[in-house]
Amino acid sequence: MKQLKDTSTEEKILEAAKEVFMKYGLYGARMQDIADTAGINKALLHYYFRNKEKMFDKVFEGALQKYFTQMDVFGDTTLPIKERIFRYIDNIVNFLSEYPQMTMFIIKEISINPEMFKEKVQPLKKGRGVRFIQALEEEISTGKIKKVDSVMFMINLHSLCTYPFIGAPLFKHALKANGKDYEKDFSTEKLKQSAKNFVELTLGK
Amino acid sequence: MKQLKDTSTEEKILEAAKEVFMKYGLYGARMQDIADTAGINKALLHYYFRNKEKMFDKVFEGALQKYFTQMDVFGDTTLPIKERIFRYIDNIVNFLSEYPQMTMFIIKEISINPEMFKEKVQPLKKGRGVRFIQALEEEISTGKIKKVDSVMFMINLHSLCTYPFIGAPLFKHALKANGKDYEKDFSTEKLKQSAKNFVELTLGK
DNA sequence: GTCTATATAGGGATAGAC
DNA sequence: GTCTATCCCTATATAGAC
């Protein structure tokens, strides 16, 4: 019986809440909409999560947790720099192809409610980024990789991996209007390859 | 007296509406919030725009118009391909540094309300994109530029120019936490240069 | 054109039956 | 645990004075 916990009411609600909050944000989401999506009664939402904010917090924390886990590999000092970058690319692209709305959700809510960053995001990072950038700059100074602006490089890297999912609604329509088929012309494997090409072109083979 | 029209009540409302709708979206935005931001009475919103949806439509159409105008240069057949790309980079980066939330606003609202695309976006594009991709593929086949996947290239190009503004809230915090200063380490000029480097690395000098 | 006051609907939350 | 009924505040929208 224990394995049925996955489809418990609480789980169903969380799944529905994730979907609705991601789409509409904290203020745009409607409790009724979440209840309908979960296929349960509205009052049950309050039974399990007390109120809207608390439910949102659960969803948001889960999202952050999952999202930043994809970047843990940057901190794996047992791997060479470029391997860490390549693994990050694989991780984040796989992850976003499953949750394409995740990035926008996190960024939107943080920009509306900046205090959330300090509260919830900061603890997940713990200087892993600074250490990676240091390592990158070290390899640049020893000439092991080409001279680049480390910050700009990291921004570009994230951009190449992330925006294709954010912009997908536009790309899809644009390509279809142009006689191309998004599903055919875009694939996660192509995207990974393309990002890795960028890394090699920028940092050297 | 005519030149005071700019600060007319209607203009003030539209400015405020733009700000609030961009931040919260159609469903998350509050009429009271818009009125407060504009510094006028709530009832006036209805006097000028009748209801919330109509006001949103005005704001959204204006946003689309401005956004897609930045891409018109792709269709300027008097310019060589690479020059068109470079000018697009300048245009979109300048534009987004003024309206960093624009892309997310448009994409969010379109993904919530997909019918809006056909209604409002399609007319602004008129096959300009398809012609550009054709021109790109032509130059590839004649060997004037390096062989690349044209669709993937366009996606990458947009990604590099657009995501830095979308992700800015995250980048800012991440860099500050790492002892770097976003305002110092990131500049629109650096970004343009970086995107142009990508173009040259990818398509050839 | 701009305000105050108010009608009406929508949405979050609770009480209480089962 | 789950439902129905209901409370009450919030938000959109309108009426009417100035």
Position B123 scores a pLDDT of 84
Q: Are residues B138 and B192 in the same domain?
A: yes
Owner of token pair 């105008």: B69
The distance of B163 to chain A (nearest Cα, Å) reads: 5
The distance of A98 to chain B (nearest Cα, Å) reads: 16
Q: Please give the protein residue whose CA is closest to the C1' of the nucleotide C10.
A: A30
Tokens for A148, please give them.
């680049």
Q: Are residues B156 and B181 in the same domain?
A: yes
Task: For residue B23, give its domain range.
Answer: 8-57
Position B118 scores a pLDDT of 82
Residue A64 included in any domain: no
Q: What is the CATH number of the domain that holds A112?
A: 1.10.357.10
CA dist list (Å): B139 to A107, A163, B80, B112: 38, 26, 10, 38
CA distance B108 to A166: 9
User: Could you give the number of structural domains in chain B?
Assistant: 2
Among A101-115, A163-177, B84-98, the range scoring the smallest mean pLDDT is A163-177
The 3-state DSSP class for residue A139 equals: helix
Q: Are residues B96 and B187 in the same domain?
A: yes
User: What's the angle, vertex CA A184, arms to CA A179 and CA A185, rounded to 5?
Assistant: 75
Residue A25 included in any domain: yes
Q: Are residues A87 and A182 in the same domain?
A: yes
For chain A, the average pLDDT equals 93
Owner of token pair 């644009």: A174
Q: Are residues A176 and A197 in the same domain?
A: yes
Judge residue A67's burial from the number of C-beta atoms within 10 Å of its C-beta, 0-12 exposed, 13-18 middle, 19 or more buried: buried
The distance of B123 to chain A (nearest Cα, Å) reads: 11
Position B6 scores a pLDDT of 60
- Who's near B107: CB < 8 A, 6+ residues apart? A104, A166, A167, A169, A170
What is the rounded average pLDDT of the residues A43-58? 98
- Who's near A124: CB < 8 A, 6+ residues apart? A64, A65, A68
Q: Are residues A74 and A167 in the same domain?
A: yes
State which residue of chain B sits closest to A108, comparing Cα positions: B23
**Across the interface, do A104 and B107 touch by the CB < 8 Å criterion?**
yes
Q: Are residues A18 and A92 in the same domain?
A: no
CA distance B86 to B113: 32
pLDDT at A4 over 70: no
Query: Which contiguous run of DSSP H or E holds residue A44?
Result: helix A42-49
Position A2 scores a pLDDT of 42
- Interface-testing mutation among A104, A121, A156, with chain B (most B C-beta atoms within 10 A): A156
Q: Are residues A100 and A152 in the same domain?
A: yes
CA distance B191 to A12: 43
Q: Are residues B84 and B136 in the same domain?
A: yes
Closest CA to A164 of B122, B42, B154: B154
- Who's near A122: CB < 8 A, 6+ residues apart? B173, B177
pLDDT at A126 over 80: no
Q: Are residues B38 and B75 in the same domain?
A: no
Position A3 scores a pLDDT of 44
Position A39 scores a pLDDT of 98
Gap from B183 CA to D8 C1', Å:
47
SS3 content of chain A, % helix, strand, coil (to 5): 80, 0, 20
Residues of A in contact with B164 (CB under 8 A): 155, 159
Chain B residues 125-164 within 7 Å (CB) of strand D: none
Residues of chain B with pLDDT under 50: 1-4
Residue A28 included in any domain: yes
Q: State the DSSP string of chain B.
A: -GGGGGGSHHHHHHHHHHHHHHHHHHHH--HHHHHHHHTS-HHHHHHHHSSHHHHHHHHHHHHHHHHHHTTGGGG-TTS-HHHHHHHHHHHHHHHHHH-TTHHHHHHHHHHH-THHIIIIIHHHHTTHHHHHHHHHHHHHHTTSS----HHHHHHHHHHHHHHHHHSHHHHHHHHHHTT--HHHH--HHHHHHHHHHHHHHHH--
pLDDT in tens, B68-125: 999 999 999 999 999 999 999 999 999 999 999 999 999 999 999 998 888 888 888 8
Position A6 scores a pLDDT of 60
Among A29-33, A75-79, B1-5, the range scoring the smallest mean pLDDT is B1-5
CA dist list (Å): A40 to A1, A24, B54, B169: 21, 20, 34, 36
State which residue of chain A sits closest to B189, comparing Cα positions: A152
* CA dihedral (B160, B165, B167, B168) positive or negative: positive
pLDDT at A10 over 60: yes
CA distance B203 to B199: 6
Q: Shortest CA–C1' contact from A39: which nucleotide?
A: D2
Share of chain A above pLDDT 70, in %: 97
Position A122 scores a pLDDT of 81
Residues of B in contact with A70 (CB under 8 A): none
Chain B residues 38-97 within 7 Å (CB) of strand D: 42-43, 46, 50-53
Tokens for B55, please give them.
């006001």
Which chain C positions have some atom within 7 A of a protein CB?
Answer: 1-5, 10-16
Q: Are residues A39 and A99 in the same domain?
A: no
Backbone conformation region of residue B192, classed left if phi is above 0, alpha if psi is from -120 to 50, else beta: alpha
Share of chain B above pLDDT 90, in %: 80
Residue B64 included in any domain: no
Gap from B104 CA to D7 C1', Å:
38
Gap from A43 CA to C14 C1', Å:
9
**Across the interface, do B155 and A171 touch by the CB < 8 Å criterion?**
yes
What is the rounded average pLDDT of the residues A150-168? 97
Residue B65 included in any domain: no
Q: Are residues B98 and B181 in the same domain?
A: yes
CA distance B83 to A182: 26
pLDDT range class, residue A1, cuts 50, 70, 90: very low
Q: What is the CATH number of the domain that holds A33?
A: 1.10.10.60
Residues of B in contact with A205 (CB under 8 A): none
**Across the interface, do B177 and A122 touch by the CB < 8 Å criterion?**
yes
CB under 7 Å from any atom of strand C: which residues?
A 29-32, 42-43, 46, 50-53; B 9, 40-44, 47
Q: State the DSSP string of B26-55.
A: HHH--HHHHHHHHTS-HHHHHHHHSSHHHH
Residue A124 included in any domain: yes
**Across the interface, do B198 and A156 touch by the CB < 8 Å criterion?**
yes
Among A39-53, A61-75, A136-150, B179-193, the range scoring the smallest mean pLDDT is B179-193
Residues of B in contact with A175 (CB under 8 A): 151
Gap from B53 CA to C5 C1', Å:
24
Position A129 scores a pLDDT of 80
**Across the interface, do A170 and B110 touch by the CB < 8 Å criterion?**
yes
